[in-house]
Amino acid sequence: MEESIKGILEAIEYYIDGARKSDRSIVAKAFADDATMSWSENGELRIVPIEALYDYGDSLGPQEVAYSLTECSATEDTAIVRIEFDFSKAGKFTDMFTMVKFGDRWKIVSKIYHIKKKNEE
């Protein structure tokens, strides 16, 4: 299980490092090619391809990122991860990731999030 956690955290670090640098090529290393992002907006369900996250990150530019991994439940090849984020430009979010191990690499296949506080743009 320790090896699984190491691989999961490696994928999460790509997400965080890419957000800090506003570099979609780094963020993309964390996600499966056909990953999705979902959230509730004004009571409506929104589901978009993960490229929407890359575009949003590009629009923000580099930023500071603080985070706390609050939950991680894993099997040998699947995981569910919850992280509390504070992005200096975007705001505060709770992100939950569904992850799958592809060969020897972990990838996020689904990101759902809750906005705790969105910073004004």
Domain regions of the chain by residue span: 2-118
| Spatial separation of the C-alpha atoms in residues 11 and 31, rounded to whole Å | 8
pLDDT of residue 1: 61
Question: In the prediction, which pLDDT does 120 show?
Answer: 64
Tell me the pairing of strands 91-102 and 105-118.
antiparallel
Strands in 1-121 per DSSP E: 31-41, 44-49, 65-74, 78-87, 91-102, 105-118
Residues 100 and 12 sit within 8 Å (Cβ to Cβ): no
Residue type, 41: E
pTM of the model: 0.91
Sign of CA dihedral 41, 32, 87, 6: positive
Q: Amino acid identity of 97?
A: F
What pLDDT does residue 101 have? 96
**In this structure, what DSSP letter does residue 29 have?**
G
Run of H or E residues at 90: none
Tokens encoding 72: 């991680």
* CATH class entry, domain 2-118: alpha beta
Q: Tens place of pLDDT for every residue, the chain, 121 residues?
A: 677 789 999 999 999 999 999 999 999 999 999 999 999 999 999 999 999 999 999 999 999 999 999 999 999 999 999 999 999 989 999 999 999 998 999 999 999 999 998 886 5
pLDDT score at 5: 86
